[in-house]
């Protein structure tokens, strides 16, 4: 079932959203992107004449009630965003009455799902090495099913619009779907858009396809790099991993970030790229700094000849041009991870060059997906988020999807 084809009139819908919004020390929301992201789905249900039960996690309360992570803190913001009153259920597993009393057009927000260990379904207080662990895990899985069944009992329809947690098989993100018929469960609009964006990158590829992987380490990106190697025409590897590649090929990287235990891996990636005819583009020059700070002294040096006492913190001008030239001609673009320490204003040029080239390609008709934590922060910092095709809201979920893994939150609806 798709959300567009469903008429929610007279139905109670329980919707899993990702309202894990950042709060300041006074419990005030500092960034409401995630609430805004869920609005199309929530408003569709209300405007059809349905009633709405909203559920989410916030933070990591580790299965215990903790006022610091209470969703009561954001109830008024949700009400304001929806333009209507929002009732609050202070115990998500005992909201039967509040749910039963909901009338069409009314909204109930459940307290943080992760106040119950059943949500994540991991046994608590027992070590993995403990001989009793397997039994505890089995018992917790049963409790998780009962918890999911309880949540499901509040509503006629289940909608999952929480892409940020789609890679987790939690009670509210996946297990709950077992308690609804196929025609009564669906993805929300945000989830649909995310799934479509990943599909554009992994299946419906327009060529040339250029992926830009940056960030600090190659080790955390290897799953994605390997999956992409079978799909891309051009693979730009930048950021801190530049120096692991430079050293692996016999270069001198001074004090740059470098994973010495991943040199073989870097050589293997270079070999695989050749075998698969992938144009691997690595940085040739860099902006080296004499300390890890915004105000450090800098010099442009070859990425494989960095003096001791200096560390590469950004892509150099020759590299920036090479990256931009490849990106500008692409028809499909994926960007994950910055080309330098973009948090320091003096080391944003590499990431900026990538972002500008992506915008140029997008203007010429390319599909561009920016996702995974820091690259999203980059396009936001540069004010370019509206100039790319899609900015993903899901960090870990997006990366797992790009690695080619099936997301339990999506599979639970579609299978
Ligand atoms: P990741 O979480 O692996 O995507 O890495 C993102 C982080 O990589 C950002 O905080 C950047 O500051 C950092 N980063 C990018 N380039 C470098 C570099 N050359 N040296 C050290 N850190 C870097």
Q: Kindly give the distance from the C-alpha atom of residue 80 to the centroid of ligand 1, in angstroms, as a whole number.
A: 37
Q: pLDDT tens digits, residue range 87-111?
A: 999 999 999 999 999 999 999 999 9
Please give the pLDDT value at position 373: 67
Please list, in sequence order, all residues whose beta carbon lies within 8 angstroms of the beta carbon of residue 148, skipping any fewer than 6 positions away. Answer: 118, 171, 172, 175, 176, 178, 179
Span 377-388, average pLDDT: 94
Span 19-29, average pLDDT: 92
Q: Kindly give the distance from the C-alpha atom of residue 245 to the centroid of ligand 1, in angstroms, as a whole number.
A: 15
Please list, in sequence order, all residues whose beta carbon lies within 8 angstroms of the beta carbon of residue 290, skipping any fewer than 6 positions away. Answer: 296, 297, 298, 309, 310
Span 371-390, average pLDDT: 91
* Cα end-to-end distance, the chain, whole Å: 12
Which secondary structure element, helix H or strand E, spans residue 198, and what is its range? helix 189-202
Q: How confident is the model at residue 395 (pLDDT cuts 50, 70, 90)?
A: confident
The closest alpha carbon to 178, from 142, 145, 155, 138, belongs to 145
Please give the pLDDT value at position 134: 94
Please give the pLDDT value at position 269: 97
Please tell me the least confidently modeled range out of 218-232, 247-261, 285-299: 218-232
Beta bridge partners of 315: 286
**Which of 211, 215, 352 should be mutated for ligand 1, with most atoms under 8 A from CB?**
215
Question: Can you tell me the distance from the alpha carbon of 128 to that of 135, in angstroms, rounded to the nearest whole number?
Answer: 11
The closest alpha carbon to 213, from 245, 253, 181, belongs to 245
**Which of 347, 374, 392, 398 should be mutated for ligand 1, with most atoms under 8 A from CB?**
374
Q: How confident is the model at residue 130 (pLDDT cuts 50, 70, 90)?
A: very high
> Is residue 237 in contact with ligand 1, taking CB distance under 6 Å?
no
> Is residue 281 in contact with ligand 1, taking CB distance under 6 Å?
no
Domain ranges of the chain: 3-187, 195-402
Q: Kindly give the distance from the C-alpha atom of residue 240 to the centroid of ligand 1, in angstroms, as a whole number.
A: 6
Give the chain's mean pLDDT: 96
Q: How confident is the model at residue 169 (pLDDT cuts 50, 70, 90)?
A: very high
> Is residue 376 in contact with ligand 1, taking CB distance under 6 Å?
no
Question: Can you tell me the distance from the alpha carbon of 57 to that of 64, in angstroms, rounded to the nearest whole number?
Answer: 12
Q: Is the pLDDT of residue 415 over 90?
A: no
Q: CATH class for domain 3-187?
A: alpha beta
Q: Kindly give the distance from the C-alpha atom of residue 372 to the centroid of ligand 1, in angstroms, as a whole number.
A: 13
Pair of tokens at residue 340: 């330098």
What percent of the chain is predicted at pLDDT more than 90?
93
Residue nearest to atom 10 of ligand 1 (CA): 341
Q: pLDDT tens digits, residue range 173-192?
A: 999 999 999 999 999 999 99
Question: Can you tell me the distance from the alpha carbon of 166 to that of 19, in angstroms, rounded to the nearest whole number?
Answer: 14
Span 228-252, average pLDDT: 97
3-state helix, strand, coil in the chain (%, to 5): 45, 15, 40
Q: Is the pLDDT of residue 288 over 80?
A: yes
Q: Kindly give the distance from the C-alpha atom of residue 216 to the centroid of ligand 1, in angstroms, as a whole number.
A: 4
> Is residue 216 in contact with ligand 1, taking CB distance under 6 Å?
yes
Q: Is the pLDDT of residue 30 over 70?
A: yes
> Is residue 188 in contact with ligand 1, taking CB distance under 6 Å?
no
Q: What atom of ligand 1 comes closest to residue 214's alpha carbon?
A: 4
Please list, in sequence order, all residues whose beta carbon lies within 8 angstroms of the beta carbon of residue 120, skipping any fewer than 6 positions away. Answer: 63, 114, 168, 170, 171
What architecture is the 195-402 domain classified under in CATH? 3-Layer(aba) Sandwich (3.40)
Q: What atom of ligand 1 comes closest to residue 343's alpha carbon?
A: 12
Query: So which residues are the catalytic ones?
Result: 34, 217, 373, 396
> Is residue 43 in contact with ligand 1, taking CB distance under 6 Å?
no
Please give the pLDDT value at position 61: 96
Question: Can you tell me the distance from the alpha carbon of 317 to that of 357, in angstroms, rounded to the nearest whole number?
Answer: 14
> Is residue 111 in contact with ligand 1, taking CB distance under 6 Å?
no
Please give the pLDDT value at position 374: 87
């Amino acid at each position: 079932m798709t959300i567009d084809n469903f008429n929610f009139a007279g139905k109670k819908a329980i919707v899993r959203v990702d309202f894990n919004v950042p709060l300041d020390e006074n419990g005030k929301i500092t960034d409401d992107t995630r609430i805004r992201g869920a609005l199309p789905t929530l408003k569709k249900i209300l405007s059809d004449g349905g009633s709405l039960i909203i559920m989410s996690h916030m933070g990591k309360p580790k299965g215990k009630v903790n006022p610091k992570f209470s969703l009561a803190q954001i109830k008024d913001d949700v009400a304001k965003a929806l333009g209507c009153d929002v009732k609050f259920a202070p115990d998500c597993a005992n909201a039967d009455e509040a749910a039963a009393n909901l009338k069409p057009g009314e909204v109930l927000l459940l307290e943080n799902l992760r106040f119950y260990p059943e949500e994540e379904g991991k046994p608590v207080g027992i070590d993995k090495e403990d001989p009793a662990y397997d039994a505890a895990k089995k018992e917790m899985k049963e409790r998780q099913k009962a918890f999911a069944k309880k949540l499901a009992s509040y509503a006629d329809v289940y909608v999952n619009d929480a892409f940020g947690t789609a890679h987790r098989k939690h009670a509210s993100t996946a297990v709950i779907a077992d308690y609804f018929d196929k025609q009564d469960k669906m993805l929300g609009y945000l989830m649909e858009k995310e799934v479509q964006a990943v599909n554009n990158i992994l299946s419906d590829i327009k060529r040339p396809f250029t992926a830009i992987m940056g960030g600090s380490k190659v080790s955390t990106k290897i799953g994605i790099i390997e999956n992409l190697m079978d799909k891309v025409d051009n693979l730009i590897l930048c950021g801190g991993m530049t120096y692991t590649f430079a050293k692996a090929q016999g270069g001198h990287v001074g004090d740059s970030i470098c994973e010495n235990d991943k040199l073989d891996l870097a050589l293997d990636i270079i070999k695989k790229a050749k075998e698969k005819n992938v144009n691997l583009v690595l940085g040739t020059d860099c902006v080296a700094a004499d300390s890890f700070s915004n105000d450090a002294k800098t010099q442009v040096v070859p990425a494989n000849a960095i003096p001791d006492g200096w560390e590469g913190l950004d892509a150099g001008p020759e590299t920036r041009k090479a990256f931009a030239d490849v990106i500008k001609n692409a028809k499909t673009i994926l960007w994950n991870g910055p080309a330098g320490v973009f948090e320091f204003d003096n080391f944003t040029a590499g990431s900026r060059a990538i972002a500008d080239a992506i915008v140029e390609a997008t203007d010429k008709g390319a599909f561009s997906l920016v996702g995974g934590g820091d690259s999203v922060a980059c396009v936001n910092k540069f004010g370019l988020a509206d100039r790319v095709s899609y900015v993903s809201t899901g960090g870990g979920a997006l990366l797992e999807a790009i690695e080619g893994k099936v997301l339990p939150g999506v599979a639970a609806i579609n299978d």
